[in-house]
Amino acid sequence: MPDGPRQVPDVVARIAAGRPITAVWDNEVGGVTFQIGHGPGREFVKVAPPHPAVDLHLEADKLGWAASYVTVPRVLGVGRDGAVAWLHTAGLAGTTAVHPRWIANPRPAVRAIATGLRALHDQLPVDRCPYSWSADSRLAGLPASARGELAEPPPVDRLVVCHGDACAPNTLLDEDARWSGHVDFGALGVADRWADLAVAAWSLRYNYGDDWSADFFAAYGVPADPGRIDYYLRLWDAEG
C-alpha cells in the first residue's frame, strides 16, 4: 500500500471528474491503482508505464470472460494516454486481505483466501478458457539458462483456470471474513492448480508472517505437495 500521496495522471483526473482520488496500491513494475470516490459506488483506475509483463487490454479481455462465471471487477474502460496504459473498473464489495484488520488477525483471512481460490478453480471452466498459463508456455518465455535450471515441470495434478497472481492482496473479504471477489487478472489462464497454490501459500508467510500453510491447505481441501510447491515457486522467481 502507498506510504504517501502519488502524482495523479491526467487520465485518472479526467475519469474522476472532481470526485476524490486516493492512491491505494503500488505494484512492482511502477504502476499505481487509484480509488475514485468512496463507498459502494467507488471505482478504480490502474495505470501502468510501459512494461513487457503488463497488458491492460488483455487483462480487460480476461475480466470480461471471467465475469460470466465468478465475481470480478466490471470493466468501465481501458486505453492508453501517451505512454501510460490505464484500466478503469467498478469497485467490488469488500477490502483487500492485507487490510490492517486482517494483518492483525490473519487466520480468518487465510481461510477465506483458500476458499475463494478453491471457488475460482471450481467455477471457471477449463474447456471454455481461451488463455493459457501453463508451465510449458511460461518456460518458453525464459532464457535458455533459466529453463535449464528449472528442468521439466512435474506432472499435472489438476488443470484449472488459474488466477495467475494468487497473492493475498488480490483476494477481497467482506466484514465477516468471507471471500467476496478477486482482482488483478492479468495472468489468468489454464494451468495446474499448483501454479496458483504455491504462490498463494508463499504469500501468506510474506504478508502475515509465520507459517499458515496448514490452515490454507485445510481450507482449500488438498494436502500440501512440497515438490510441486517448490517447482512453481522457482518458476515464479525465474520470471522475476
Rounded CA-CA distance 118/122 in Å is 6
Tell whether 86 and 51 lie within a shared domain. yes
Classify burial at 178, counting beta carbons within 10 Å of its beta carbon; exposed 0-12, middle 13-18, buried 19 or more.
Answer: middle
Tell whether 135 and 154 lie within a shared domain. yes
Tell whether 79 and 125 lie within a shared domain. no
Tell whether 125 and 166 lie within a shared domain. yes
Q: Report the domain count for the chain.
A: 2
**Beta strand 95-96 pairing with 171-173:** antiparallel
- Residue 48's domain comprises 10-90
Tell whether 60 and 162 lie within a shared domain. no
Tell whether 149 and 165 lie within a shared domain. yes
Tell whether 171 and 70 lie within a shared domain. no
Tell whether 73 and 155 lie within a shared domain. no
Residue 26 confidence (pLDDT): 76
- Is 165 catalytic? The answer is yes
Name the region of 54 (left: φ>0; alpha: ψ -120 to 50; beta: rest): beta
Q: How far is CA 160 from CA 69, 89, 120, 156, 237, in A?
A: 13, 25, 9, 10, 21
pLDDT, tens only, 181-237:
999 999 999 999 999 999 999 999 999 998 999 999 999 999 999 999 999 999 999
Q: Which three cell numbers stand for residue 201?
A: 501459500
Rounded CA-CA distance 72/44 in Å is 13
Rounded CA-CA distance 171/95 in Å is 8
Residue 107 confidence (pLDDT) above 90: yes
Residue 27 confidence (pLDDT) above 80: no
**pLDDT > 90: percent of the chain:** 81
Active-site annotation holder among 3, 81, 165, 225: 165
Residue 160 confidence (pLDDT) above 70: yes
Instruction: Report phi then psi at 171, rounded to 5.
Output: -105, 135
Rounded CA-CA distance 127/117 in Å is 19
Tell whether 227 and 123 lie within a shared domain. yes
Section 85-109 average pLDDT: 95
Residue 85 confidence (pLDDT) above 90: yes
Rounded CA-CA distance 91/70 in Å is 15
Question: Where residue 49 falls among pLDDT bands split at 50, 70, 90?
Answer: confident
Rounded CA-CA distance 36/12 in Å is 9
Residue 152 confidence (pLDDT) above 80: yes
Section 151-174 average pLDDT: 96
Asked which of 90, 111, 143 is the last residue of a domain, the reply is: 90
Rounded CA-CA distance 228/152 in Å is 11
Tell whether 57 and 142 lie within a shared domain. no
- Tell me if 1 is assigned to some domain: no
Within 8 A by CB and 6+ apart from 17, the residues are none
Tell whether 59 and 163 lie within a shared domain. no
Question: Where residue 155 falls among pLDDT bands split at 50, 70, 90?
Answer: very high
pLDDT, tens only, 3-24:
677 788 889 999 999 999 999 8
Mark out the alpha helices in the chain (DSSP H runs): 10-16, 56-66, 100-104, 106-123, 135-140, 144-150, 193-208, 213-220, 226-238
Rounded CA-CA distance 10/23 in Å is 14
Return the axis-axis angle of helices 193-208 and 213-220, rounded to nearest 10°.
Answer: 140
